[in-house]
Structure 1
Amino acid sequence: MTGTLVEVTNPLDGSVVGKVPYAEPAAVEAAVAAAAAAVAVGRELPAHARAAALDQISAQLAARAEEFAQLITAENGKPIVWARAEVGRAVSTFRWAAEEARRFSGELQRLDTDAAATGRVAMVRRFPRGAVLGISPFNFPLNLVAHKIAPAIAVGAPILLKPAPKTPLTALLLAELIAETELPAGLVTVLLVPDAEMDALVADERLPVVSFTGSERVGRRIAELVPHKHVTLELGGNAAVVVARDWADLEWAADRVATFGNYQAGQSCIGVQRVLVDEAIAHEFVELLVAKVQALDPAAVVGPVIDDAAAARIEEWIAEATAGGAEVLAGGTREGRMVAPTVLRDAPPDSRVVREEVFGPVLVVSTFPTIDEAFAAVNDSRFGLQAGVFTSDLRTAFAAHRDLEVGGVVIGDVPSYRADQMPYGGWKHSGVGREGLRSAMDDYTDTRVLVLTGIPL
């Protein structure tokens, strides 16, 4: 039987994209039981079978790329250029997972470094901790789903994936591709469950691993609810970019900051939010930045935010900042769910556009006299996901890597850069654990040591 129908609408115009049912309690129970029962089957699944399934999913995604892109745009609202880019990344995510599955072999250690261990050798391998509950957000309805499912398949861990109720259609279409593989029953299940019923899934002891991407509030509640489980959290941030005085191509830097502070309406955990510019070049750079922002095509590059509540919140935060003395250099207005790309200068340090994650098309510009003060400003946040530093000085680059309290530092570009195979995650309130194929595979598994005795080494 099916549950209450969820009406999925296009954020841009409110048109109905599709209707899908929430899973009934009996269906949820059956899915959890199937995932738990598949633990032994997944553990025994040969590497070639896991890799072949991942390769097949990647190939089918590539073959149906435009279909997926159009669906992402329809239910999420992001401009088609970013939807197509997301599909391309998902194709690579599954391909990388296939490659990692083939080399997920473990380590051999000889133990006869001590005389008492002569003839002993250890084999260290990783095995799934158990079934995984994956919870994905609305802003990347395909690739962030892929980052939950692909590493689970790669290690043979059953996964029950709960997509965001606002954008479930893409995940369900992906599930159709997965069902066409020869993976055993119960290894991958995509299940639409109301957010209000999520806590029961999180607390279910048959799902000992929880991988969540979403808001800080919900992530913290999950961590408090199941402190005994292995929980990974990607909770966002208020990403900063530093533009040093030695950076020569200010126009290119301004173009990158303008684009990736506003792409898909700023709804990216590593979208640029705080812009720190050396005071020696601030006048020139800010003029370039404002011009680049004002030249953005709202329909082709920016798009709408996800719903009316998000648009109203962003508008409120902008008003709060301007009431506190921030100067509006561009934007600052909204029409429905379309928030104009906004540049604020000198917002109060305690304003929410500085302290919190805006998750909208808002850039907050300030200046600094020295690079040390710039790095201190970046670190003056409870978040720490990624940062970008436009510098040509190798010493500054290494200092940024050492001193910035973030999970990733991007030199010569914005913090929005992400390669899907690299470790990705945050420090401080930005979360715990890492995505990126091999990193997530490690989070889904734990080490087990086999000691062999009497071996002629």
Structure 2
Amino acid sequence: MPARKDGIVTTINANETIQPGSADAHLLLIGGDWVAGEGASFDLLEKYSLQPLATIATASSAQVTRCVETAHAAFRAGAPSPHERGAILDRAAALVEARRADFIRTMQAEAGFTATDAGGEVGRCVQTLRLSAEEARRLAGEVIPLAGAPNQEGRLAFTLRVPLGVIAAITPFNSPLNTVTHKVAPAFAAGNAVILKPSSNTPITGRKLVEVLVEAGMPRGFLSLVQGGGDVARGLLEDERVRFFAFTGSTEVGRSIQRAAGLRRTQMELGSIAFTILADDADLDRALPRIVNAGYRKAGQVCTSVQILLVQDRILDTVTARLTALVAALPYGDPYAADTVVGPMIAEKEAIRVESWIAEAIGKGARRLVGGERRGAVIPPTLLTDIDPSMQVGCCEIFGPVVCLMPYASLDEAIDRVNATPFGLASGIFTNRLQDALAAAQRLEVGGVHINETSSSRVDMMPYGGSKDSGFGREGPRYAIHEMTEERVVTISTK
């Protein structure tokens, strides 16, 4: 395991100012100044060795209030022009690319990502920043044809897209760079001020992105960083000057945020049980490698990871044999090893939970085709069959490196199985029958249907979000900017 020079810190006094780039610059950014957190501290663990990596100081309630005050004041003073906002985001994209190796090392340590998974985060972050820069420059409303209404001659009308004000971004551990970017970059591109609260599991990656944005020219007050847990989130929710909450996380936490937000707007990307349907006419040479990647990348800790693979019964034996061989060949364990595909989960307690769910399923009659004993936070890539919805692996979000095989006879049966869950984020279907593909697109109650791709087939420019208990609102820079602005109508009478 390589030495990790960055992120190892000691507790410092609350009145110290921290310079970006120093070993303990991971604390708070308030009003453009790096300051020590005045709240309680917690130890951040390296996810593979489970040894201390850093000591993170959290924000006090007074610091959260100060964050909102400075963000609100900055917004009221006025955002940079759309051209300059785009230029800042473009410069940030170049800086992230230049620091690729540092971001990868950081995510290997605090998220347990393999080099491939961490590198994918960096590449997508760069793309998201550049897409947001483009959208900043072309943010516009539309002309309203008032002349088409009676007695409106000599009157013009158009709309403006105007920013909302202060945006709170509450982000997850499983995409500590790109999901953060998907909230922060579109919010600023639209002209809002942003307060970021990254996951307490992965605070250093979020801090490094904030450093990049500050270096790229982010104006004082338009970006703040607070570390902490539920108390910090509640402080943001209690301040009515925060106009919008962008959240990715569990459905349970999303419900509580939505209740507290009241009439304020939110964007919620919540839990999921992701299905992919494999029809008997599918090209297995193309489909199966994609399914393995989508099921086990980031140790299965992706909202759209293939959790249940619905296989048409006529090809079940063939798929089972081929998939068993592919999963059994996946290297797992040390995220610093060059060939590792499945690294550790985010915490040992989560690995213990997944281990218990697997044991429960086996106790109820499921068969484990591939898998093995847990080692610390590492769960070997696991393939189960003979599961049913009474098992936790069949009715709850696993969020671990486990894929479950279930047969189906007809497309109607497969669609009904997907729609029977309370979730609806994304589904995939592999088939060459156009009629079946279109039927799935129209009838699956999910935010995205990917034909001849897996459920985990997101591209950063597309609208991304769910339905039902998977949330609402859409990410993707163009669509997120629409969420984070409001429409204002302007009319001009010339007679």
TM-score (norm 1): 0.96
**After superposition, what is the alpha-carbon deviation per residue over 1:312-335, rounded to whole angstroms, capped at 9, x for unaligned?**
111111111112211111115312
Equivalent in 459, 463, 478 of residue 423 of structure 1: 463
Tell me, in whole angstroms, the C-alpha distance in 2 between the residues paired with 1:7 and 1:320. Answer: 32
Structure 1 residues without counterparts, runs of 5 or longer: none
Partners of 1:137 and 1:164 within 8 A in 2:
yes
Deviation (angstroms), 1:453: 1.2
What percent identity do the matched residue pairs reach?
40
Instruction: After TM superposition, list the pairs within 5 Å mapping 1:268-283 onto structure 2.
Output: 268-283=302-317
Partners of 2:64 and 2:235 within 8 A in 1:
no
Tell me, in whole angstroms, the C-alpha distance in 2 between the residues paired with 1:269 and 1:390. Answer: 20
Aligned to 1:63: 98
Please state whether the residue corresponding to 1:423 is helix, strand or coil.
coil
Tell me, in whole angstroms, the C-alpha distance in 2 between the residues paired with 1:39 and 1:377. Answer: 47
Tell me, in whole angstroms, the C-alpha distance in 2 between the residues paired with 1:161 and 1:411. Answer: 35
Residue 397 (structure 1) aligned with residue 437 (structure 2):
yes
Partners of 1:315 and 1:332 within 8 A in 2:
no
Instruction: After TM superposition, list the pairs within 5 Å mapping 1:1-400 onto structure 2.
Output: 1=14, 2=36, 3=38, 4-42=40-78, 44-247=79-282, 249-299=283-333, 300-331=340-371, 333-400=373-440
Tell me, in whole angstroms, the C-alpha distance in 1 between the residues paired with 2:92 and 2:351. Answer: 36
Please state whether the residue corresponding to 1:26 is helix, strand or coil.
helix
Q: Which amino acid aligns with 1:85?
A: G
Tell me, in whole angstroms, the C-alpha distance in 1 between the residues paired with 2:435 and 2:454. Answer: 19
Tell me, in whole angstroms, the C-alpha distance in 2 between the residues paired with 1:287 and 1:333. Answer: 22
**Bigger CA drift: 88-97 or 294-303?**
294-303
Partners of 1:251 and 1:288 within 8 A in 2:
no
- Structure 1 residues 398 and 404, CA gap change in structure 2 (3 angstroms): same
Q: Which amino acid aligns with 1:334?
A: R
Deviation (angstroms), 1:227: 2.1
**After superposition, what is the alpha-carbon deviation per residue over 1:168-206, rounded to whole angstroms, capped at 9, x for unaligned?**
001111111111133321111111123333212122101
Q: Which amino acid aligns with 2:59?
A: A
**Bigger CA drift: 126-135 or 14-23?**
14-23
Structure 2 residues without counterparts, runs of 5 or longer: 1-13, 15-35, 334-339
Deviation (angstroms), 1:121: 1.7
Q: Which amino acid aligns with 1:76?
A: A
Tell me, in whole angstroms, the C-alpha distance in 2 between the residues paired with 1:73 and 1:316. Answer: 26
Equivalent in 459, 464, 478 of residue 438 of structure 1: 478
Number of matched residues? 453
Q: Give the ranges of 4+ consecutive aligned residues of structure 1 lying more than 4 Å apart after TM superposition.
A: none
**Bigger CA drift: 393-402 or 272-281?**
393-402
Please state whether the residue corresponding to 2:148 is helix, strand or coil.
coil
Deviation (angstroms), 1:372: 1.4
Partners of 2:186 and 2:481 within 8 A in 1:
yes
Tell me, in whole angstroms, the C-alpha distance in 1 between the residues paired with 2:429 and 2:154. Answer: 52
**After superposition, what is the alpha-carbon deviation per residue over 1:133-154, rounded to whole angstroms, capped at 9, x for unaligned?**
1100111111111011000111
TM-score (norm 2): 0.89
Partners of 1:202 and 1:222 within 8 A in 2:
yes
Partners of 1:251 and 1:285 within 8 A in 2:
no
Tell me, in whole angstroms, the C-alpha distance in 2 between the residues paired with 1:54 and 1:205. Answer: 28
**After superposition, what is the alpha-carbon deviation per residue over 1:356-403, rounded to whole angstroms, capped at 9, x for unaligned?**
110001111111111111111111111110001011122222111101
Please state whether the residue corresponding to 1:115 is helix, strand or coil.
coil
**Bigger CA drift: 33-42 or 352-361?**
33-42
